[in-house]
Amino acid sequence: MYLIRDIFHTKPGKAKELVKKFKQAAPYFEKQGMGKFKIMTDIATTYWTVVMESEVDDLSAFAKEVRGGTSQPELGKIMEGYMDLVEGGYREIFIIE
């Protein structure tokens, strides 16, 4: 089992908008086998940070779905413009022992 965290640093004041998009998109991601998502925002470190966390059994299946991105029209509509909210970020992948 793997724990995957996608950390996004949003533009000032844009974290809530990104959280809204992720909450709307989560059911589509889960249907694609990308795990059940937790969406979190920071309260103690870098401002305007949003973390999307999930657990998956198979990294290759996760990678395939990530590359497929927004191939579903509904998901594409939800995620439209999300990069306009983001300044940067990174992904962490851990093995759950």
pLDDT digits (tens, 9 = 90+) for 5-30: 999 999 999 999 999 999 998 888 77
Average pLDDT over residues 34-47: 84
**In the chain, what percentage of residues exceed pLDDT 70?**
92
Average pLDDT over residues 26-41: 82
Could you tell me the pTM of the whole model?
0.83
pLDDT at 58: 84
Exposure string over 51-87, b if 16+ CB within 10 A, otherwise e: bbbbebeeeeebeebeeeeeeeeebeebbeebeebbe
